[in-house]
């Protein structure tokens, strides 16, 4: 039985890139009966950038509703908010004291973000330590993440090894990153990586009119309607291929190549395909965003399960470090 664990920061509503690149593949992995999945919302990490409580809460709900909308089974797995299980922050402190300062100072993510962000706080600096605590609290074996998180997983292993060595026992389990190299980077409406930070994302849960508007913003070249077009360099076609089935994609390719088919037609087809393919997730997402008490109930149930496991780990760590029995 492998224990899979991953977290998503509550720093915005999930977009098509997050869904196709992270959420849907993690849910697929959770369906394997040999796996036990621990998925949480990293709402403490998001305090680094989002200080507005109600806004952060709104994003927490949107992320939780997305996991549920894409079929995460919360009865068989564990699903919770990081901030409600205090052991995350307690373990993070212990781990801080086993983390060499240069390891954090040289982290790629810190270097990148400290150049871009106006508010470079200590939370940004110790971000990887809280992430290590998230993982080590639950004895996770496999952590599915994007390529950008590879270094954070290496740090988690190094920090765990340092603590284990100090206490002379393997109390923390070393996790492995699962980085799916086949997963492509989903392009945004401007052709760069789809990201909240570039404001080029498609939010598939928007009401129809707004969703259509977002799709219509996709950039194209200026080939006139009558002329044949190259599907392989076109963003609309790329997004369409990620969502539609094979026969529909083949038909779309023909439309591009034969000419007389404009980019407006292609975008309309993409918009309709999003509505069709995601009709059930859209329905479930909206249901939970309206019935927040039910969503809250699922999170509270998950928090209880998570807390029990976290408390056991903390007890072992406290004892090993000489903080009582």
Tell me which residues are annotated as active site. 113, 193, 196
Among 4, 5, 10, 18, binds ligand ADP (CB under 6 A): 18
Shortest spacing between CB 76 and ligand TRP, in angstroms: 20
Cβ neighbours of 259 (radius 10 Å): 14
CA-CA distance, 320 to 311, in Å (whole number)? 14
Contact flags string 170-199 toward ligand ADP, x per CB under 6 A: ---------------xx------xxxxx--
Identify whether the C-beta of residue 194 lies closer than 8 Å to the C-beta of residue 36: no
The listed partner (ligand TRP, ligand ADP, none) that binds 7, CB under 5 to 8 Å by sort, is ligand TRP
CA separation for the pair 128, 311 (Å, rounded): 21
Q: Which residues pair with 176 in a beta bridge?
A: 142
Q: Are 143 and 135 in contact (CB under 8 A)?
A: yes
Which of residues 45 and 282 has its CB atom nearest to ligand TRP in the complex? Answer: 45
Q: How far apart are CA 126 and CA 66, in angstroms?
A: 28
Q: Is 202 in the site for ligand ADP (CB under 6 A)?
A: no
Maximum C-alpha span of the chain? 78
Site for ligand ADP in 121-150 (CB under 6 A): 145-146
Cα 140 to Cα 3, 37, 96, 99, 309, distances in angstroms: 5, 9, 19, 20, 11
Residue 241 within binding range of ligand ADP, rule CB under 6 A: no
Phi/psi at 177 (nearest 5 deg)? -80, 145
Q: Minimal distance in Å, beta carbon 181 to ligand TRP?
A: 17
State in angstroms the smallest separation of the CB of 193 from ligand ADP: 4
Does the footprint of ligand TRP cover residue 77 (CB under 6 A)?
no
211 binds, among ligand ADP, ligand TRP, none (CB under 5 to 8 A by kind): none
- Stretch of 129-137, 213-221, 267-275, 303-311 contacting ligand TRP, by CB under 6 A: 129-137
Tell me the number of residues near ligand ADP by CB under 6 A. 15
- Between the CA of residue 247 and those of 46, 233, 244, 297, what are the distances in Å? 41, 20, 8, 42
By the criterion CB under 6 A, which residues form the site for ligand ADP?
8-9, 17-18, 21-22, 145-146, 185-186, 193-197
**Which residues of this protein are in contact with ligand TRP, per CB under 6 A?**
5-7, 9, 42, 45, 131, 134-135, 143, 145, 149
């Amino acid at each position: 039985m492998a224990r899979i664990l991953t977290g998503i920061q509550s720093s915005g509503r999930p977009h098509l890139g997050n869904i196709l690149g992270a959420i849907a593949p993690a849910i697929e992995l959770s369906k394997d009966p040999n796996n036990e999945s621990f998925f949480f919302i990293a709402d403490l990490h998001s305090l680094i950038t989002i200080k507005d409580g109600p806004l952060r809460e709104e994003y927490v709900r949107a992320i939780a509703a997305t996991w549920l909308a894409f079929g995460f089974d919360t009865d068989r797995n564990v699903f919770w908010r990081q901030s409600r299980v205090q052991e995350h922050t307690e373990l993070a402190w212990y781990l801080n004291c086993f983390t060499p300062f240069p390891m954090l100072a040289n982290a790629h993510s810190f270097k990148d973000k400290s150049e871009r962000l106006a508010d470079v706080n200590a939370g940004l600096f110790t971000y990887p330590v809280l992430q290590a605590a998230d993982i080590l609290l639950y004895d996770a074996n496999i952590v599915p993440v994007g390529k950008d998180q590879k270094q954070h997983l290496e740090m988690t292993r190094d920090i765990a090894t340092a603590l284990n060595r100090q206490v002379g026992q393997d109390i923390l389990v070393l996790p492995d990153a699962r980085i799916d190299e086949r997963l492509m980077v989903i392009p945004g409406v401007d052709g760069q990586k789809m990201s909240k930070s570039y404001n080029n994302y498609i939010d598939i849960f928007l009401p129809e009119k707004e969703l259509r508007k977002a799709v219509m913003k996709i950039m194209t070249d200026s080939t006139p309607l009558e002329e044949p077009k190259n599907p392989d360099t076109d963003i609309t076609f790329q997004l369409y291929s990620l969502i539609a089935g094979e026969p529909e994609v083949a038909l779309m390719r023909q439309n591009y190549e034969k000419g007389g088919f404009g980019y407006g037609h292609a975008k309309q087809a993409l918009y309709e395909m999003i509505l069709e393919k995601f009709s059930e997730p859209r329905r479930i997402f909206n249901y939970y965003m309206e019935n927040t008490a039910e969503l809250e109930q699922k999170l509270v149930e998950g928090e209880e399960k998570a807390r029990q496991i976290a408390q056991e780990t903390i007890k072992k760590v406290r004892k090993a470090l000489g903080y009582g029995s």
